[in-house]
Structure 1
Amino acid sequence: LCGCSAVGSLPELCDAAGRCLCRPEFQGPRCEQCRSGFHSYPNCQECSCDPRTSLDTSCTASGICRCRPNYSRASCDQCAQGYYGYPSCTACQCSPEGSRYSTCDQLTGQCVCLPGVVGLRCDQCAHGSYGFPTCQAGTCHPSGSVQSELLPAGQCECRGHVEGPACDRCKPLYWNLSPDAAEGCSSCECNVAGTLSSVAECAQETGQCLCKPHVCSGTCSTCKDGYYNLERYSYFGCQGCQCDIGA
């Protein structure tokens, strides 16, 4: 009689003035549409927009939320193309010289690298290849060789603290192959009083020396907490303090 929607109206349909009485999730003169925050009439389901990633809690008639720029999907619960790591959704930072595309893996951020190129952003040469972004294999390492041009391995002239056919590794007692080092690599500077077997070599990537059990620091020059008196001929390196607590 009132012309109210049987789906969207309460059992009494309308009031004495003929106004339709809508269910909570419906609206309109005849309760013939979903209220804001609901979608898919006549079922009128609540919008499932993620408040962290959508512009508001409302959605379209088909349930599509309005996402912030770096999010996508109906509920804004996935990173948009060009972003990764939901829910933070950080922008991909693929190297334009070393990557096939500007987009990356949406979980890890890994870019798709060109041949001979590696790294999360495709911004460095694979091991044994040099001269980014061309990354030619079997050539002299530019940081370790005297020549400024890329020559085939075996024709390399290494800088003073560098060795290998491709001049790609530091000599013993040196680390950190770099174009900024005076002779290609930096000295380990290990304190042999604190190193195992008085060895002065260190890890080529980190410069960490091989310390005795009671010794610490990058150069093995410091006793660990609770120890003192660093001695070269002590197997453990330092003596225990043996303090009488509370005396």
Structure 2
Amino acid sequence: PGPWTKQAPCPSASPSLAAQPERQRGGRVPLGSLLRPCPLQVPAPRTSAQEVPDMMPPPGCSGGNCHPPTGNLVIGRGQSLRTSSTCGLHGPELYCVVSKLQDSQNCCFCDSRDGKSHGIENVVSRSDPDGRKTWWQAESGVENVTIQLDLEGAFYFTHLIMTFKTFRPAALLLERSVDHGHSWHVFRYFAHNCSGLFPGIPPAPGRRVSDLVCDQRYSDIEPATEGEVIFQVLDPSFLAENTNNAEIQELLRVTNLRVNFSKLHTLGDRPLGGLRGHPFYYYALYELVIAGSCLCHGHASECRPAPGSPPSVEGMVHGHCVCRHHTTGTHCERCQGLYQDHPWQAAEPGYPHTCQECKCHGHARSCHFDMALYLASGNVSGGVCDACQHNTAGRHCELCQPFFHRDPLEDPRSLHSCKPCDCNPMGALEGGLCDAYTDTTRGLLSGQCRCKVHVWGQRCDSCRPGHYGLSLTQSEGCQPCRCNVRGRVPSTQACDPSSGACHCKRFVSGRDCSRCLVRLEPPPTPPPPASDLTLKWGAELLEAGKYQVVTSVSAD
């Protein structure tokens, strides 16, 4: 094989492992002879400065579809990284560095009891503030090791790059969770021999971007250092697929990522009893890049720190979207309170799917979406206004509440568009309810009160013709006038609407116009014959010189 990347040797007061007797090689080295910490190595350039193409659209908004910038989700979240194995947590632990297959092995000790030596937080950056190279290292000979990133919320995950200090794993798998670790799903298998290590898993590439496959490109034993494992959620070979469809959007969404290292590479000297404690074989990682962005469904081009998120540092990808298109929520996952007239949708290229405002005429602060109404309208409108204000009511706050009516002189958006019904309680029915609006086809007149039988007027404050005495105790509101039809004046109000007194003809009197006015004069001389007796001057001649008041009016 070709040359391996050179490691700086580990200085030691004791002889190198190659100088030890043959019986000690691959076995235990006397701790007393090697017990001194390995110095940190000087900075070294990456042997492979490979840039992974980002298949996500560039940041910003184009055609209404917005995308926040992509960054390394690990930055600022070192405390959210955890691993199942770290060397030297319980005391100094021997490990050896392979320089070349032909050369000797240099051995050192890992001591992570101070929490700074080879902890998992070292994978956030390839070097410390002083520029010295750092790395995470697992316990020697431990094959099943996990590294897990727990995000504070949901994010888009686009690709992963791991740069190893030692051999890359012979087998590993990448898992994701979308429910904060309650369930896990495999993203991709990696192995130098997929059919042998992961039987039944088809080799990469699959037919579709969501296919579960095993990739053999990143699991060779070469190089011995600076080797990379790369994974892209949106493989470039599937560019023809619509990245905005629901399946791919769900594939990009993660709350947790977990890398499972399951098999170490060896140089053909795998002991029958297992590798545990073997100083030549262990996982060590210079850098872990988990690229992604905040999850905004195409409705934001920038994000800010979410409540409860880790303290912000330079280069950190934040998780709270600064939403556009009248959307809201941590991930712009719903429409704003007053923009629910259409169903929420994720933005697409050329189709921002801006949330539409409910038509509440300025009388509501929020509304909700009703799918049944939306479908019934032919996908035109499904918004229903909530808690209409200013005495309004109705789906669009276009009506007035009971006991209020629409003022036709006011704009429907006016705070005073609905006026109280002004009904006279003595003449109105239903507690003073009035017509809320005008509809001539239904005989409705805005503000018209519902009157009792013998009452009329917009306010129900007048008795109908022929009636009087508007009273709260009257079930019909007013009483009929009691006038003698022969004594009252025709074609007029039969009686006074307040007192009930009838309007009588000339020379007729009485409350009900049933009496004639009396005007007595001496009878003529000689008296007329009895056959000529008639009604005169409002009196009836009974006999010569005598009169009797007429109490009823004759046709004469």
Indicate the structure whose relative CO is greater, using CA pairs within 8 Å and at least 6 residues apart. Answer: 2
TM-score by length of 1: 0.35
TM-score by length of 2: 0.17
> Hey, which of these two has a bigger chunk of helix by percent?
2
Bigger radius of gyration, 1 or 2?
A: 2
